[in-house]
Homo-oligomer: A and B are copies of this chain.
Amino acid sequence: MKILVTGGAGFIGTHLVRELLNRKNEVVVVDNFTLGHQENVDCFKDNSNYKFYNIDIAKTEEFCDKLKDEKFDIVYHLAANSDIQKGGRNPEVDYNDTFMTTRSVLELMRRNGCKNLFFSSTSAVYGEKTELLTETAGDLKPISYYGAAKLASESFIDSYTYMNDFNTVIFRFPNVIGPNLTHGVIYDFTRKLQNNPNELEILGDGSQTKPYIYVLDLIDAIIKFTLEIPMKQGIEIYNAGVETATNVTTIANIVCEELGYKNVKYNYTGGNVGWKGDVPKFQYDLTKIHNAGWTASKTSDEAVRETVRYIKEH
């Protein structure tokens, strides 16, 4: 099959591209290295099934024009700003990198007659809900520009799917971690401790608690619901996650333990959120994805520990 992966040089994208190439697909990657890295995709460049375009996907006409002769069996749309904190400082970031990239992908699919779409959405679409999050929850009020841009993307995907008979699978990702992580709390802690092994600044009060999924578990689920189970006309939304969750202080403990930092003094900045727009606690109802036959192999704590070990070894 001929497959497009947007954001294919990014953290999650790279792992997906590797798996798709392993499965003998023809893979076209589009990325402009905003968060992705050239080094992430260097390993694919001798594979004759691999092709790379450096394009800013947010520029709809340029993107559609450059790919106008490509006919894809499936499009995996992963390109987005994934740094919520960065987006909070300038709404332009998520408008362009998270929303406009989706709009461009939908136009490409409509114009080129592509039918199968996988979209990476997020828990941030739910906003500040205290109950277990179900895919059909109402009253969604995202508080970050990132969450808004993803929910706006879902909205446009809904109408394009209906109007153009797409087969669409949407995963709402929790925090995703693992090899080649580019940002986030584990990444931050590791950096900070390298600079100062005695003290660690922790945003908020350390009680922020979220599910962390190991990236290879997530790739396994993506493959299952797009290549193994046939995609169907219409939209299927899944919370893709783990039932367990890890709080920020536990992450600090695991990072210190695995990297061998002892007697580190934690300095909490205070408050129950890391930054404005942060949702401090959430947990998914995973009934739908479990019933469909998929469960993550690692718990949230295991995912954190495995990620820190990877960082240690590289």
Interface size class of A (residues with CB under 8 A): 35 or more
Given contacts A91-B110, A103-B95, A138-B139, contact A144 B159 (CB under 8 A): yes
Bound CA span A276–B162, Å: 9
Contacts of A142 in B (CB 8 A): 155, 158-159
Bound CA span A145–B161, Å: 10
Asked if A143 and B158 sit within 8 Å, CB to CB, the answer is yes
Contacts of A149 in B (CB 8 A): 155-156
Report A7-52 residues with CB < 8 Å from chain B CB.
Answer: none
- Report if A132 contacts B (CB, 8 A): no
The smallest beta-carbon distance between A261 and chain B, in angstroms, is 35
Given contacts A103-B95, A107-B91, A138-B137, contact A143 B155 (CB under 8 A): no
Given contacts A139-B136, A139-B138, contact A155 B163 (CB under 8 A): no
Among A137, A145, A152, A160, chain B packs the most CB atoms within 10 A around the CB of A152
Contact with B along A122-145 (1 / 0, CB 8 A): 000101000000111111111111
A interface residues (Cβ-Cβ under 8 A, vs B): 88, 91, 95, 99, 103, 106-107, 110, 125, 127, 134-145, 147-149, 151-153, 155-156, 158-160, 162-163, 235, 276-277
